Amino acid sequence: MFEDVSELLKKIIHFSKLCHRLGYVGGSSGNVSFRSGESMWISNTGTMLGELSEDDFSCVEVISGTVLRGRTPSKEREIHRLAYARRLDCHAVLHLHPVDCIAAGILLGPKTELPFYVPSHFIKLGTVHQTGFYKAGSLQLAQECSVLLQNENAALLYRHGTVTLGNSIEEAFMRSEYLLEACRLHLKFQGAHAMSEEELADYKQAPTDVFISKDEDGMRSCS
């Protein structure tokens, strides 16, 4: 019934621990998942991203939300599940709590759009919106987040954290880092000198950078 996901779990655990070492999460905050067929594997509630093991994941059916294996999946599982249900191109979801992203979001206010100050962040991320203020783990938060992520690859959760999607965990992680950089610039400039719609227009037609990874044979492939 279950595919062999041991290699994917090892990769997810590697990037989860990296997020913890870099200070993007603390304690038992944050969660991570990846798609495998019609199911997703997601970190369990109460687990620490910096201490994850293969036993700290649950398998959940994407369509129904039924827990197929494991104990208690993260309370934010609906954010992950709805992202996979809406986005067939999404194979990894990363939810973090970078302090600078939360601070930038508070300055922006709920239901706002993140301004950009350098073209590279817009090229890497595309448009980024922020949700309203909802209780962590609530269906309202998951539903609003899924609407934003239907056509975008990253979202700010007001007074809460970030969510990034990727065709791989590497891509989701890279988008988290670009989002953090963009938020740090907003903390410095707070809207002053942000790129105008006219300036961004030249980049809206440009393709987003493609993440390059190595497959099992060492050949470089595009995600």
Domain ranges of the chain: 6-206
> Which is nearest to 92 in space by CA: 12, 209, 181?
12
Q: Would you write out the chain's pLDDT as a tens digit for each of its 223 residues? A: 456 899 999 999 999 999 999 999 999 999 999 999 999 999 999 999 999 999 999 999 999 999 999 989 999 999 999 999 999 999 999 999 999 999 999 999 999 999 999 999 999 999 999 999 999 999 999 999 999 999 999 999 999 999 999 999 999 999 999 999 999 999 999 999 999 999 999 888 655 554 555 544 433 333 3
**What number of other Cβ atoms are within 10 A of residue 129's Cβ?**
19
- The token duo for 192 is 């002053």
For residue 59, what are the CA distances in angstroms to 55, 62, 66, 69, 104?
11, 9, 9, 5, 34
Q: Give the span between the Cα atoms of 115 and 195, in whole angstroms.
A: 7
- 76 is an active site residue: yes
**What number of other Cβ atoms are within 10 A of residue 120's Cβ?**
14
Q: Give the span between the Cα atoms of 166 and 153, in whole angstroms.
A: 7
Question: How high is the pLDDT of residue 204?
Answer: 82
| DSSP conformation letters of 132-146 | ----TT-HHHHHHHH
Catalytic residue among 7, 51, 61, 76: 76
Question: How high is the pLDDT of residue 40?
Answer: 98
Question: How high is the pLDDT of residue 209?
Answer: 55
Angle at 117 between CA 162 and CA 141, to 5 degrees: 20
Q: Give the span between the Cα atoms of 17 and 32, in whole angstroms.
A: 11
For domain 6-206, which architecture applies?
3-Layer(aba) Sandwich (3.40)
Question: How high is the pLDDT of residue 119?
Answer: 96
Question: How high is the pLDDT of residue 221?
Answer: 33
